[in-house]
Structure 1
Amino acid sequence: MEQTIIHHMETVRSITEQTLKKIPEEISDTIPKGFNNNIRWNFGHIAFIQEKLVFGLLGEEMKIPRDYEQLFSAGTKPAEWDETPPSFAEIAEILTEQKARIKNFIPGRFHDKLSTPFTNRMGITFYTVGEVLLFSFYHEALHIETIKRLYRTISSY
């Protein structure tokens, strides 16, 4: 079953990587009416939250740039950025490298308990590595759908 879950993680991330390649970076900072964030923020958010869920909650080193938390954590907004965000190429590299690290890190750890249970913003509490990894697939898919909605809206201008 672990191999099936890891394969699913790779499939979800591959969809994210392919979506990133299809969107022109020059439109990625547009925030259409009715949206809080832009396309770049959503891709960076996927990378940051995945890192936090799989590595950060276990007390493992998070191997993404430190500024990702200030730029892409829940509740942040591009309108409040004081620094230049990473390019699509940088985010793509993070996403690809992260997928490989998770694939190497996660086997045999699905039942490991988190040092402290984690409750997300929706009020759902997770207790194990497997639970947060499985939730991360849902989270990533939600943001890919948001990215697609943003792209359709921007393209219709």
Structure 2
Amino acid sequence: MEATFKIWETSRKIYLKIIDNYSLEQLNKIPEGFSNNLAWNLGHIIVSQQGLVYRLSGLPMNISSEMMEKYKNGSKPTATTQEEIEELKVLLFSLLEKTKEDYTNGKFASYNEYTTGTGFHLANIKDAMEFNNYHEGIHLGFIMNIRKFI
């Protein structure tokens, strides 16, 4: 799992570096031809990780239900405030550290198997964490594309 966590941390550092280079207006802009924006993608990777790893393990998620609703799969972007952006930036790394700690402490004792919308079958916590890295990589690609148009 060490490599999985290393990939995840590297990905999150890239997200932060990108997000830090844009104004709130740019983070909220949905370019023509796109269905979301930089801010939504940032929130989405955070809530997706919590759902894939914690909720499907039967554990409480470490985010508010409001955040979950705002950025869950199938949600539509709404204006994100600067305060929310700052919270998301903190969560990028605080939730990474919390997940590492909980994994080390054996908190992910069970897992409710799940097949993602793209057909990936997640049978256990290891599958969920590896799929999470794949998912975040897809959204990093979306972010790289969106930023060309803002």
TM-score by length of 1: 0.84
Report how far residue 10 of structure 1 moved.
1.6
CA RMSD in angstroms comes to 2.1
Q: CA contact under 8 A between 1:119 and 1:126: conserved in structure 2?
A: yes
Residues 32 and 84 of structure 1, relative CA distance in 2, 3 Å threshold: closer
Report how far residue 23 of structure 1 moved.
2.5
Alignment of 1:1-157 (within 5 A): 2-78=1-77, 81=78, 87-107=84-104, 113-114=110-111, 116-154=112-150
Query: 1 CA distance for matches of 2:3 and 2:38?
Result: 30
Q: CA contact under 8 A between 1:47 and 1:95: conserved in structure 2?
A: yes
Identity level (%): 26
Q: CA contact under 8 A between 1:118 and 1:127: conserved in structure 2?
A: yes
Query: Would you identify which runs of 4 or more consecutive aligned residues in structure 1 move more than 3 Å?
Result: 83-86
- One-letter amino acid matched to 2:10: T
Q: CA contact under 8 A between 2:30 and 2:36: conserved in structure 1?
A: yes
Report how far residue 96 of structure 1 moved.
1.6
| Consecutive unaligned residues in structure 1, runs of 5 or more | none
Query: 1 CA distance for matches of 2:40 and 2:124?
Result: 28
Report how far residue 137 of structure 1 moved.
0.6
Superposed CA offset, 1:64-116 (max 9, x none): 121122111111102xx4x865621111011121111112122375x9551x2
| Consecutive unaligned residues in structure 2, runs of 5 or more | none
Query: 2 CA distance for matches of 1:4 and 1:75?
Result: 30
Report how far residue 8 of structure 1 moved.
2.1
Tell me the number of residue pairs that the alignment of Structure 1 and Structure 2 aligns: 149
Query: 2 CA distance for matches of 1:100 and 1:17?
Result: 16
Query: 1 CA distance for matches of 2:20 and 2:120?
Result: 32
Superposed CA offset, 1:36-74 (max 9, x none): 111111100010001111111101110112112211111
